[in-house]
Amino acid sequence: MSFTYPAVLFLLLIPALLLMWVWRRRARRIVLPFDHGVARRGRGLRVMIDLAESLPSLVLGVAIVILAGPVRTSAPKTKRVLTNIEFCVDVSGSMTARFGEGSRYDGSMEAIDDFLDYREGDAFGLTFFGNSVLHWVPLTSDTTAVRCAPPFMRPENLPRWFNGTEIGKALMACREVLESRSEGDRMIILVSDGYSSDLSNGRDEEIARKMRESGIVVYAIHIAQSELPDAVINVTALTGGAVFNPGDPGALKAVFRRIDEMQPTRLEKTSAESLDDFEPACWAGLSLLAVCLIAAFGVRYTPW
């Protein structure tokens, strides 16, 4: 145990001196004139009385300990490191193609909805892109906005400037969003079904380098039957992520589970804290006061 004001403990000399005085004083010898009586020394009674008269000094000592501010150090705890996850979803016209019982867009948003349950406590953002980029949901731990987004950004309802696929532009826009967060890990999950010309001529390596500088890991899901684009493979591999090519909605959901396993929740230890620790001293003081009250009914020195 340590104390906030250790200098106060020097006042414990006062109750210590009082205790010495109680036990060493000799002003208790009274001779009573009993004819033919034999006076006993009464040592047992004297010890009992001295113990009772020591109680106020002990209570004073406990009060001094409380004034010194006893503290204890808590055990180190662990806390969950926040992961900032930005979903980057392609809404070009090709995302209306058949995929399971719905479209590629429908399957993607359903899988994202399931993924939100795996990562409870993380922050999620949602970005839609074609030839333009739209940040639909800012990074937030409230997943309601992400879950409610699908009806509003269906590819068949969007203007023509979302018909193309510019993955490089979308990734750099998502990078700006993630860089606004100073704390936590950073991750982009790209969902697209096309090839992007703005990743050619070494642009993919340049984007990957900037992602690494920002501490961003990129995972990509190529939701089409075509070959995986080499540029997307390069971006994911160079940032420490991976690219997947699911063939059906069940495999797509399995991909998101796999991403969750590859990027597990990270825990870090927090430093121990100093906590007030008055409880032991308070219980001791209350107990002494109770005994002192009981002793006041008869266990005391009366010189008459």
Give how many domains the chain has, as a whole number. 2
Q: Does the structure show a pLDDT above 60 at 21?
A: yes
**Same domain for 45 and 163:** no
Q: What is the pLDDT of residue 188?
A: 94
Q: Do 60 and 124 belong together in one domain? A: no
pLDDT digits (tens, 9 = 90+) for 137-155: 999 988 898 999 999 889 9
88 belongs to a structural domain: yes
Beta strands in the chain (DSSP E): 2-3, 70-73, 78-81, 83-90, 98-99, 102-103, 123-129, 133-140, 185-192, 216-222, 243-244, 266-269, 274-276
Residue 46 within a domain = yes
Q: Are residues 94 and 195 in the same domain?
A: yes
pLDDT at 169: 93
Asked if residue 88 and residue 169 are part of one domain, the reply reads: yes
203 falls within a domain? yes
Q: What CATH number should be reported for the domain holding residue 218? A: 3.40.50.410
Contacts for 166 with CB less than 8 Å, ≥ 6 apart: 129, 130, 131, 133, 196, 197, 198
User: Is the pLDDT assigned to residue 79 strictly greater than 60?
Assistant: no
Statement to judge: residues 123 and 236 lie in one domain: yes
pLDDT of res. 175: 94
- Residue 301: inside a domain: no
CB atoms within 10 A of CB 250: 12
- 70: nearest Cα among 278, 296, 290: 278
Q: Residues 193, 282: one domain?
A: no
Same domain, 176 and 206: yes
pLDDT in tens, 273-301: 677 888 888 999 899 999 988 888 877 66
Q: Please check whether residue 244 lies inside any domain of the structure.
A: yes
Q: Any residues with CB less than 8 A from the CB of 22 and at least 6 apart, and which?
A: 50, 53, 54, 57
The answer to whether residues 149 and 66 belong to one domain is: no
User: Under a CB-based contact definition with an 8 Å cutoff, are residues 199 and 168 in contact?
Assistant: yes
Cα-trace Rg, the chain? 38
In angstroms, rounded to a whole number, what is the distance separating the alpha carbons of residues 88 and 130? 10
Same domain, 118 and 94: yes
What is the mean pLDDT of the segment spanning 161-178?
A: 91
Q: Domain containing 14: what range? A: 2-74+273-295
Asked whether residue 300 is domain-assigned, the answer is: no
- pTM for the model: 0.62
